[in-house]
Amino acid sequence: AGAADYIDGLLGAFLVDPPRIFAGGPFSGRHGGDPGFERFTPLTRHQELAWRTRIEGSQGRAEREFNGPVVGLQEVYREGLARLGADFCDVDGDEQDRRLDAVPAFKHLLYEHACEGTYGAPEYGGNRDCLAWVAIKFPGDVQPRGYTDEEVSGRV
């Protein structure tokens, strides 16, 4: 459902301006209102510092190392994917499981990001055509329409 595209967009968030961190709004346009989610909002100076540190790591820069060195998500993915091996997609499922189990922290991160990319808002690159939402019968963001009393109470 596009989880890999979501992860790619997250790791490359600062390749575009404004960065693909916070989708705009107030509405997606899926249930009325002007679609604003596809326009990403500029970050404040502090938000940019925090997100660059999270994604790119501290890279020896003093302003990013006030709490010590930080390994960014880009490096975590480079190292994790290297540990899985270039032939990861070609080996059988048992071997894939063995390799994933050998890198538990990376396996956890992959799972977290796969869930975000599969079930998150499509504006972030995953959940293509809202297919995951359809599969779990989630209507997605329904503003400005909102939910009816029946939908909230489960009497639909």
110: containing domain = 3-153
User: Both tokens of residue 97?
Assistant: 């499981």
Residues 16-37 as b or e (16 or more Cβ within 10 Å = b): eeebbbebbbebbebeeeeeeb
Q: Into how many domains does the chain fold?
A: 1
Q: What is the mean pLDDT of residues 29-48?
A: 93
Range in 13-17, 114-118, 150-154 with the lowest mean pLDDT: 150-154
Q: Tell me the per-residue pLDDT of 90-115, one tens digit each, with 9 for 90 and over.
A: 999 999 999 999 999 999 999 999 99
The vertex-23 CA angle with 50 and 135, nearest 5°, equals 115
Which amino acid is residue 102, in one-letter code? A
Q: What is the pLDDT of residue 155?
A: 78
Q: What is the mean pLDDT of residues 62-81?
A: 97
If you average pLDDT over every residue of the chain, what do you get? Answer: 95
Q: What is the mean pLDDT of residues 141-147?
A: 88
